[in-house]
């Protein structure tokens, strides 16, 4: 696994591109500068790793576009030490961003192949999630709830109730909701029963795979 000055230069440029697109959280931009994204994707795409684009990974899934990762991370305003649940580990790139932001990360992946691959890969780069789980994101992670923040990185056909229920009061769930394209939707838990909802624009994600019974 090689990371060079050239890669570093490309990462700096990517951070500048993201800044021009409206990402202004310096900690998020620094995470983009720090993480060797070219190592998270197939080497055949290496030359393009620092373009602001999604790419195929294993099991017909994708590594999200850097802008999307940065937007979700900035919107959730992750603070050091917060307990964060991620649905859709995928390549682990978003997981690495959360870890750079010093969150305590639990991440669930539904595809076994990706779960195995990413579980081996992240520690090699020094990224240590609290727990990587092979399971179904629709259920969340009741045994570790409540969470400060929950981030969903696949397009959800509807908002899974358990995820709202697993937020702390004051906590935030960020989830792209819809079929072909999704509306990025932020829920803030105001009390045991009240949630504030904000719609933050259109995005395109691979679909969240169906619930497992």
So which residues are the catalytic ones?
Answer: 64
How many whole angstroms separate alpha carbon 75 and alpha carbon 83? 16
Shortest Å, Cβ 96 to ligand SAH: 9
Residue 10 or 35 with smaller CB distance to ligand SAH: 35
How many whole angstroms separate alpha carbon 3 and alpha carbon 81? 28
Residue 56 or 146 with smaller CB distance to ligand SAH: 56
What is the CA 185 to chain-centroid distance, rounded? 14
Residue 36 or 90 with smaller CB distance to ligand SAH: 90
Shortest Å, Cβ 189 to ligand SAH: 21
Chain residues in the site for ligand SAH (CB under 6 A): 61-64, 87-88, 90-91, 93-94, 108-111, 114, 136-138, 153-154, 206, 208-209
Query: Which structure tokens are listed for 204?
Result: 């395109």
How many whole angstroms separate alpha carbon 82 and alpha carbon 103? 5
Shortest Å, Cβ 84 to ligand SAH: 12
Which residues, other chains included, contact 159 with Cβ-Cβ below 8 Å and sequence gap of 6+?
173, 175, 177, 185, 187
């Amino acid at each position: 696994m090689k990371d060079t000055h050239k890669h570093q230069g490309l990462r700096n440029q990517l951070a500048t591109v993201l800044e021009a697109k409206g990402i202004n959280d310096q900690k998020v931009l620094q995470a983009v500068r720090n993480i060797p994204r070219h190592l998270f994707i197939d080497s055949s795409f290496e030359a393009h790793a620092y373009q602001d684009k999604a790419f195929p990974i294993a099991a017909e899934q994708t590594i999200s576009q850097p802008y999307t990762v940065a937007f979700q991370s900035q919107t959730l305003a992750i603070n050091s030490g917060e307990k964060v649940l991620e649905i859709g580990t995928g390549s682990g790139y978003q997981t690495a961003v959360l870890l750079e932001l010093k969150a305590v990360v639990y991440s669930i992946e539904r595809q076994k192949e990706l779960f195995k691959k990413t579980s081996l890969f992240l520690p090699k780069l020094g990224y240590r999630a609290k727990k990587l789980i092979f399971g179904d994101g629709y259920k969340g992670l009741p045994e570790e709830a409540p969470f400060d923040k929950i981030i969903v990185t696949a397009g959800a056909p509807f908002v899974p109730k358990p995820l709202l229920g697993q937020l702390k009061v004051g906590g935030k769930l960020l989830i792209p909701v819809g079929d072909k394209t999704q509306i990025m939707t932020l829920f803030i838990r105001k009390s045991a029963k009240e949630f504030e909802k904000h719609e933050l624009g259109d995005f395109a994600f691979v679909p969240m795979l169906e619930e497992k019974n």
